């Protein structure tokens, strides 16, 4: 049995159902990132696990224990909040000790545990400071230490990095990941930020409107998004519907698509579009893939590269290129089959199903 098992979970607020049929297993020592757009139910799922939102259907097992109807304090699941939720009038040590005191642990034992945690989160020397005197990154480390102090069965983190500036955020996310590997705690982390999820998580669950749309390793989610929603959310920012009666586009898949005339949605990332200013660029492989003719509409510098918007018939396609290009430059774009995410459109049911004709490595 998984360390945490969520089965057919439904939860919401009053009559408003937010989470619908959530199934998720989290193994001991695993970190799962919950990723999805604003309002999809990420925080509600954490709240349902912690006992802050009632579960109307289904069950949550922590180890062998069914916990969905237990009060929050009996679940041994601890939350680290975005806003840190520290006691401002207390010192760093007092904040870390708080949960242990509530549990009426002996003073000597608390002192040992607090010293251990100060070491773990590298806050030695700051134990007697008021938390209000600390930086955002240090406060979040206090919050983490306080949550870990009571040795929770599961740690849940609700956007723990979103109040930190970009540079601190990068270092704290690596610290949390290193701690998770070192201490082996089981955790779920909510984030808006797909890069954060890719870097930190062992597996990612992508949520859409209260349902899990896909769950998999970062590599699976990134390279093999199983639905158009996941492809789009994970940065496949170009989208066309096929077949397309537009001379600017040619799709050659060497018969790999089950039925080329079947309506399909094709998604691909701008970073996978190779751009040539030659009209008939030499192809060193074959003609396979998507080939598009167009003219440059806009070119914007973004550090590593230029982001080029290309007008292709009625579509605008985003590409990346190492040089600035002037408006109206004619270009040829090419996307190799491995970088195309293709989904059959099931018109009758208004849902998409992946055909997954290609496997990228
Ligand atoms: N206390 C509440 N009462 C009623 N509805 C709520 C309450 N809290 C959240 N909701 C609704 O539940 C839905 C899911 O909200 P939730 O906060 O779980 O989303 P989220 O994915 O965490 O969003 P965000 O990324 O913006 O934090 C939203 O439609 C929201 O309006």
The rounded Å distance from CA 164 to ligand 1 centre is 22
144 and 257 inside one domain: no
What is the domain extent for residue 55? Answer: 4-228
Could you tell me the distance, in angstroms and rounded to a whole number, from the CA of residue 61 to the centre of ligand 1?
A: 24
**In 10 A of CB 278, how many CB atoms?**
9
283-342, pLDDT tens digit by residue? 544 678 899 999 999 999 999 899 999 999 989 999 999 999 999 999 999 999 889 999
In this structure, the answer to whether residues 221 and 238 fall within a common structural domain is: no
The pLDDT of residue 257 is 56
The whole-chain average pLDDT of the chain stands at 88
Give me ligand 1 centre to Cα 43, in Å: 7
**Crossing angle for the helix pair 166-183 and 136-149, to the nearest 10 degrees:** 20
359 inside domain: no
* Last residue within a domain, chosen from 228, 248, 283: 228
Pairing relation of β-strands 31-35 and 187-191? parallel
pLDDT tier at 358 (50, 70, 90 boundaries)?
A: very low
Q: What is the mean pLDDT of residues 189-205?
A: 93
32 and 166 co-located in one domain: yes
β-pairing, 154-158 vs 77-80, is parallel
pLDDT at 361: 31
| Whether 237 and 219 share a structural domain | no
Q: Pick from 177, 211, 228: which residue ends a domain? A: 228
Q: Which residues line ligand 1 (CB under 6 A)?
A: 13, 16, 18, 36, 38-44, 192
Segment 93-100 shows an average pLDDT of 92
Tens digit of each residue's pLDDT (9 = 90 or more) over 108-133: 999 999 998 898 888 889 889 899 98
Closest-CA residue, ligand 1 atom 18, reads: 41
CATH code of the domain covering residue 86: 3.40.50.300
Report the distance separating Cα 4 and Cα 154, nearest Å. Answer: 8
pLDDT-wise least confident of 58-62, 154-158, 168-172, 333-337:
168-172
Q: State how far the Cα of 304 lies from the Cα of 208, in Å rounded to an integer.
A: 32
Instruction: Please check whether residues 8 and 129 belong to one and the same domain.
Output: yes
Q: Could you give the number of structural domains in the chain? A: 2
Cβ–Cβ under 8 Å, residues 153 and 3: yes
pLDDT(347) > 60? no
**pLDDT at residue 215 in the model:** 97
For residue 85, pLDDT beyond 90: no
Residues 217 and 252 in one domain: no
Integer Cα distance of 4 and 62 in angstroms? 5
């Amino acid at each position: 049995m998984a360390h945490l098992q969520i089965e057919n979970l439904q939860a919401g607020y009053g009559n408003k159902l937010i989470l619908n049929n959530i199934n998720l297993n989290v193994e001991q020592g695993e970190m799962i990132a919950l990723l999805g757009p604003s309002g999809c139910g990420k925080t509600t799922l954490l709240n349902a696990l912690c006992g802050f939102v009632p579960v109307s259907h289904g069950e949550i097992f922590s180890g062998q224990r069914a916990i969905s109807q237990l009060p929050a304090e009996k679940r041994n699941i601890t939350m680290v909040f975005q806003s840190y939720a520290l006691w401002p009038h207390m010192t760093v040590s007092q904040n870390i000790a708080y949960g242990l005191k509530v549990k009426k642990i002996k003073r000597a034992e608390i002192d040992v545990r607090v010293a251990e945690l100060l070491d773990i989160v590298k806050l030695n020397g700051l134990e007697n400071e008021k938390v209000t005197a600390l930086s955002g990154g240090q406060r979040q480390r206090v919050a983490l230490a306080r949550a870990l102090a009571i040795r929770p069965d599961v740690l849940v983190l609700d956007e723990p990095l979103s109040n930190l500036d970009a540079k601190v955020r990068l270092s704290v996310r690596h610290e949390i990941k290193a701690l998770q590997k070192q201490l082996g705690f089981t955790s779920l982390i909510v984030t808006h930020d797909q890069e954060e999820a890719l870097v930190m998580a062992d597996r990612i669950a992508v949520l859409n409107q209260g349902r899990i749309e896909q769950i998999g390793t970062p590599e699976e989610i990134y390279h093999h998004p199983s639905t158009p929603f996941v492809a789009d959310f994970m940065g496949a920012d170009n989208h066309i519907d096929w077949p397309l009666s537009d001379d600017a586009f040619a799709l050659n898949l060497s018969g790999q698509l089950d039925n080329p005339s079947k309506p399909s949605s094709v998604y691909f990332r701008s970073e996978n579009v190779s751009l040539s200013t030659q009209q008939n660029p030499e192809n060193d492989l074959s003609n396979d893939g998507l080939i598009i003719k167009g003219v440059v509409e806009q070119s914007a510098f973004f550090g590593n590269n230029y982001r080029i918007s290309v007008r292709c018939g009625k579509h605008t396609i985003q590409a990346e290129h190492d040089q600035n290009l002037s408006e109206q430059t004619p270009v040829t774009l090419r996307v190799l089959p491995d970088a195309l995410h293709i989904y059959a459109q099931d018109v009758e049911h208004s849902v998409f199903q992946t055909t997954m004709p290609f496997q990228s490595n």
